[in-house]
Amino acid sequence: MLLLLPATRARALSVDFDGSAGTSFTLPTFSVSAARTPRTPRKPGAPRAPRKPRTPRVPRRVPRRPSAPAPAPAPAPSPAEAGSVSFNGVTLPADAFSRTDRIPDSLVSAIDATRSTLRLALYELTLPGVADAIVRAKQRGVDVALIYDQGHGAGAGPAGGSLPSSQSGPSAQFSQVVAAGIPVRLLKGGGSWGIMHNKIAIFDGELVETGSFNWTTAADQNNFENAVFRDDASLASLYQSYWDWMWALATPVGGSAAPPAGGFGTPPSDPSPSVDFNGGVWPRAIFSPDGGTEARLVDAIAHCRSSLDIAIFSLYSQPVADAVLAARGRGVAVRVVADVSQARRSPQVAALVSQGVALRLSAGRGGAYGVLHHKFAVLDGKLTATGSFNFSQNAEKFNFENQLYSADPGDAAAFEGEFEAVWAQAHVPGPGEVQGAGVALR
Return the active site residues: 373, 375, 380
Instruction: Kindly write down the DSSP assignment for every residue of 336-385, as one continuous string.
Output: EEEEHHHHTT-HHHHHHHHTT-EEEEE--SSGGG--B--EEEEETTTEEE
Q: How far is CA 267 from CA 151, 193, 293, in A?
A: 21, 19, 11
Determine how β-strand 333-339 pairs with β-strand 358-362.
parallel
Ramachandran sector of residue 126 (left: φ over 0; alpha: ψ -120 to 50; beta: rest): alpha
Separate counts of helices (H) and strands (E) for the chain: 13, 21
Mapping DSSP to helix (H, G, I), strand (E, B) and coil, where does residue 293 land? helix
Mapping DSSP to helix (H, G, I), strand (E, B) and coil, where does residue 406 land? strand
First to last CA, the chain: 102
Pairwise CA distance, residues 390 & 329, whole Å: 24
Residues 6+ apart with CB under 8 A from 118: 111, 134, 137, 142, 143, 144, 145, 201, 202, 203, 204
